């Protein structure tokens, strides 16, 4: 099993630091693309309910 606490390669270092930034710190505000995807998904679900 790989030890992720002491990354040996640049890719591992980038992955682990990126993971820590994304998942261990408090979540940052949503980007526009995330709101768009949420709106599209909500519309999709609503259309299924409406037409079923």
**34-51 pLDDT tens trace:** 999 999 999 999 999 999
In the chain, how many domains are there?
Answer: 1
Q: Considering the domain boundaries, does residue 2 fall inside one?
A: no
Q: Do 12 and 4 touch, CB atoms closer than 8 A?
A: yes
pTM: predicted TM-score of the whole model, two decimal places:
0.43
Both tokens of 6, joined, read 């002491």
CA distance 14 to 25: 16
Q: Considering the domain boundaries, does residue 3 fall inside one?
A: no
CA distance 34 to 37: 5
Q: For residue 35, what pLDDT is reported?
A: 93
| pLDDT tens column, 12-42 | 555 555 555 555 566 678 788 999 999 999 9
Domain that holds residue 40: 10-51
CA distance 22 to 34: 14
Q: For residue 1, what pLDDT is reported?
A: 56
């Amino acid at each position: 099993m790989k030890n992720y606490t002491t990354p040996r390669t640049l890719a591992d270092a980038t992955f682990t630091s990126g993971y820590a930034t994304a998942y261990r710190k408090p979540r940052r505000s949503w980007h526009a693309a995330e709101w768009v995807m949420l709106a599209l998904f909500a519309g999709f679900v609503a259309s299924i309910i409406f037409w079923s």
